[in-house]
Amino acid sequence: MKHSIIVIVRVASLCAALVTSSNGQTLVDLSDTNVNSGVINGAIYAIDSSHPSGTGIFGRGAGGVFLTIQNKGVEQGYNTSAGGIMDTKRVSQWNHEITVGSLGVLTIANQEYVPFLLDINESASSKNSLLSLDDVKIFTTSATAITNPTVGSLLADPRLNLVYDMDAGANNSVLLDYNRIGGGSGSADMALFIPRNVFSGIPLNQTLYLYSRFGGDISKGDADAGFEEWTQGKGTSAIPEPATFSLIGLCALGYLVRRKR
């Protein structure tokens, strides 16, 4: 029998290490076992060995997988329930819209963040275990089931409000290694913490679209195996109504997640 236990993760002690090139590009090399996290445009990208994720752990109704991407080489997509968009798969069970009101909130070093978890599914072969995360963009909108075919069309769409851009100002990347965590499909390989203040004033019923692109920007970092899956992380609180943003303060040291044993 499998039991669920609650694990408190004290994420305030994350250790950041970055490699920045001369042209201002930032690489967070999470394939390096000496590197546990890094910051790109205000968001924290961190190794996450204790949080389960993926379709084997959470169902759709429990804050589960909302974005599934798969292709060879370069792969990209966003969480629309419309089929046939970019490299998204398993629409709409594991690729679908989420709302701002469904987001969790946690506190890291006295700053509030919204957590997302990434489960990569690459080859266990040392020659093919690397995967580069080369872009993350987050949009909010009142539209649903959008069908924009390219990232350029997402950026040009007047209906969409860009609230976070990994590549703002430079072509930044995170390098991941499937073998670093070694938990296989269903375990989170990376946690992404987005500053909560980017959602300030946005109605809770707004749709959130998370676009991500993998492979192509870093040598040996191409996609070559299974699905890449994004899951909503669990927080100690929820995104409040816009009028209450300035009234609520959190004092959590970490956040609660479910872990199987």
Average pLDDT of each block of 10 consecutive residues along the chain (261 residues)?
28 47 83 94 86 50 80 96 94 92 93 94 78 98 98 99 98 94 70 97 98 93 89 81 42 30 28
pLDDT number for residue 49: 59
- Which 8-state DSSP code applies to residue 247? G
Q: Token pair for residue 20?
A: 């920045």
Q: Token pair for residue 81?
A: 């329930």
pLDDT number for residue 246: 34
pLDDT number for residue 10: 39
Strand partners, 211: 78, 137
pLDDT number for residue 38: 95
Q: Cα(104)–Cα(106) distance, rounded to whole angstroms? A: 7
Q: How many helices (H) and strands (E) does the chain have?
A: 2, 18
Query: Do 232 and 239 meet the contact criterion of CB atoms below 8 Å apart?
Result: no
Query: Do 207 and 143 meet the contact criterion of CB atoms below 8 Å apart?
Result: yes
pLDDT number for residue 121: 85
Q: Cα(230)–Cα(133) distance, rounded to whole angstroms? A: 12
Bridge-based pairing state of the strands 228-232 and 111-119? antiparallel
pLDDT number for residue 257: 35
Q: Token pair for residue 196?
A: 């909560």
pLDDT number for residue 11: 41
Question: Three-class SS of residue 231?
Answer: strand
Q: Token pair for residue 6?
A: 């609650």
Query: Do 257 and 233 meet the contact criterion of CB atoms below 8 Å apart?
Result: yes
Measured CA to CA in angstroms, residue 228 lies from 18, 19, 177, 186, 215 at distances of: 24, 24, 13, 10, 12
Strand partners, 31: none
